[in-house]
């Protein structure tokens, strides 16, 4: 049976992942691949319910530890219900955020020690890791300008710029440590140039 592939998209708010994920899905399908597009937190009925808790602006008292544990609770359900079955049947999983986001947001942004995140990663995922991670890199100030154009900012989008600076730095540090998995995309460029970067990366990865 054909082996499945796990591709994840990462980046700060405003980096263009949501636009890119639809384009990537369309490109892969045109290339003849069976693709499942999903997201985190979310991807399942239970995961989407947890996502609502995490993004709800009314949840001011949500602690950082609770936030991290909720993210991994949604992820545990997502892995068992969607990701592993799809990979075992030879599909390509295209996921908007995965565990790198936990290291970046809860680790970098919330200052939770990486060793605690790593413990949860091993417990929930076992050996499961993405085959390819596309990091949409963008200056935090530019990302914030883009998100301000959205009608209703969620709980994360309302954070101060320093929060997103720390997240971006954590993403870049992880990419530097795992160059075989990460591919960095310059999200400050025009949409067409971003798409060209993506196509080049995917063709090289899939050949």
> How confident is the prediction along the chain (207 residues), in pLDDT tens digits per residue?
467 999 999 999 889 998 899 999 999 999 999 999 999 999 999 999 999 999 998 998 999 999 999 999 999 999 999 999 999 999 999 999 999 999 999 999 999 999 999 999 999 999 999 999 999 999 999 988 887 766 677 788 788 899 999 999 999 999 999 999 999 999 999 999 999 999 999 999 998
> What is the predicted pLDDT for the residue at 28?
96
SS3 state of residue 136: strand
> What is the predicted pLDDT for the residue at 175?
98
> What is the predicted pLDDT for the residue at 154?
79
> What is the reported pTM?
0.94
Domain ranges in the chain? 5-206
> What is the predicted pLDDT for the residue at 14?
87
Please calculate the CA angle 167-146-164 and round it to the nearest 5 degrees. Answer: 15
**Radius of gyration of the chain from its Cα atoms, rounded to whole angstroms:** 16
CATH topology of domain 5-206: Rossmann fold (3.40.50)
Q: Please state whether beta strands 35-39 and 132-137 pair in parallel, antiparallel, or not at all (unpaired).
A: unpaired
> What is the predicted pLDDT for the residue at 149?
67
Contact criterion met (CB below 8 Å) for 18 and 6: no
Residues in the chain: 207
> What is the predicted pLDDT for the residue at 192?
95
For residue 138, count other CB atoms closer than 10 A to its CB.
Answer: 23
Q: Which of 15, 40, 36 is nearest to 198 (CA)?
A: 15
> What is the predicted pLDDT for the residue at 88?
95
């Amino acid at each position: 049976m054909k082996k499945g592939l796990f591709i994840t998209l990462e980046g700060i708010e405003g980096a263009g992942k949501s636009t890119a994920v639809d384009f990537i899905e369309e490109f892969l399908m045109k290339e003849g691949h069976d693709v499942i597009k999903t997201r985190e937190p979310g991807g399942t009925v239970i995961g989407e319910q947890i996502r609502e808790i995490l993004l709800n602006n009314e949840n001011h008292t949500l602690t950082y530890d609770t936030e991290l544990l909720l993210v991994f609770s949604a992820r545990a359900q997502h892995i068992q219900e969607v990701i592993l079955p799809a990979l075992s049947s030879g599909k390509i999983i295209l996921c908007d955020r995965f565990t790198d986001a936990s290291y970046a947001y809860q680790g970098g942004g919330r200052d939770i020690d990486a060793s605690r995140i790593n413990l949860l990663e091993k417990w929930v995922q076992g050996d499961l890791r993405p085959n390819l991670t596309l990091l949409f890199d963008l200056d935090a100030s530019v990302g914030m300008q883009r998100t301000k154009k959205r009608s209703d900012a969620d709980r994360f989008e309302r954070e101060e710029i320093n929060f997103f600076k720390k997240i971006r730095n954590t993403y870049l540090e992880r990419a530097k440590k795992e160059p075989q998995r990460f591919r960095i995309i310059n999200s400050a460029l025009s949409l067409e140039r971003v798409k060209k970067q993506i196509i080049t990366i995917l063709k090289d990865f899939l050949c």
